């Protein structure tokens, strides 16, 4: 509970009526890791780190603990390496097949997709941010999978985050 309160900047609990949304907790923990970059005077900035590892065009990514540790413990040279940080492979590991799966304990979608360079890399994105960044932003229904409780099926049978219509 202390970690959640620290990340959100206030106490999150039933007794005080304040609650942290999952995206806020993830965004704050990732931003905290990217603060390590500010100690360096290199070309790689906090904004560079945040836009790549935390919030990709409105999609809130869910970096692993290993990823956050790698960002926080990297040297200034590591931060400036190739403009993306030497920890890129830790944060976006390679994967072998373009696919997706729900990470239900995190209300997130794990995605293995092709990058601009043709490599397959894995990334995990919160369902809440997927729904908010869609063409017609809506709320996340709380269901991730190939089928909704009402029987709707996803296109291609791949797991998706179901957003309100």
Encode pLDDT of 11-68 as tens digits.
333 344 444 465 666 667 788 888 888 778 777 788 888 888 888 877 888 888 888 8
| pLDDT value of residue 17 | 41
d(CA 106, CA 124): 10
pLDDT tens for 73-92 read: 888 888 777 556 678 888 88
Alpha-carbon gap, residue 96 to 149, rounded angstroms: 31
Concatenated DSSP letters of 40-74: --SS--HHHHHHHHTEETTEEB---HHHHHHHHH-
Determine the Cα angle at 49 with ends 71 and 40, to 5°.
70
Q: For residue 104, which of 69, 135, 140, 138 has the smallest C-alpha distance?
A: 140
Beta bridge partners of 103: 108
3-state helix, strand, coil in the chain (%, to 5): 40, 25, 35
Q: How confident is the model at residue 3 (pLDDT cuts 50, 70, 90)?
A: very low
Taking only the tens place, the pLDDT of each residue in 91-131 is 888 899 888 899 877 788 899 988 777 788 888 888 888 88
How many CA atoms does the CB half-sphere of 45 hold within 13 Å?
Answer: 4
pLDDT band at residue 9 under the 50/70/90 scheme:
very low
pLDDT digits (tens, 9 = 90+) for 140-164: 999 999 988 788 898 888 899 998 8
């Amino acid at each position: 509970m202390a970690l959640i309160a620290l990340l959100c900047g206030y106490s999150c609990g039933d007794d005080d009526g304040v609650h942290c949304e999952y995206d806020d907790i993830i965004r704050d923990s990732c931003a905290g890791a990217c603060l390590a970059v500010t100690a360096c005077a290199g070309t790689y900035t906090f904004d560079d780190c945040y836009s790549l590892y935390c919030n990709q065009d409105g999609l809130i990514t869910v970096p692993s603990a290993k990823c956050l540790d790698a960002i926080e413990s990297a040297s200034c040279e590591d931060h400036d390496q190739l403009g993306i940080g030497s920890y890129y492979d830790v944060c976006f590991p390679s994967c072998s097949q373009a696919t997706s799966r729900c990470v239900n304990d995190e209300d997130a979608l794990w995605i293995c997709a092709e990058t601009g360079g043709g490599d397959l890399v894995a990334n995990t994105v919160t369902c809440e941010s997927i729904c908010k960044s869609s063409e017609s932003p809506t709320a996340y229904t709380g269901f991730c999978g190939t089928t909704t409780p009402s029987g709707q099926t996803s296109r291609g049978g791949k797991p998706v985050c179901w957003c309100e219509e």
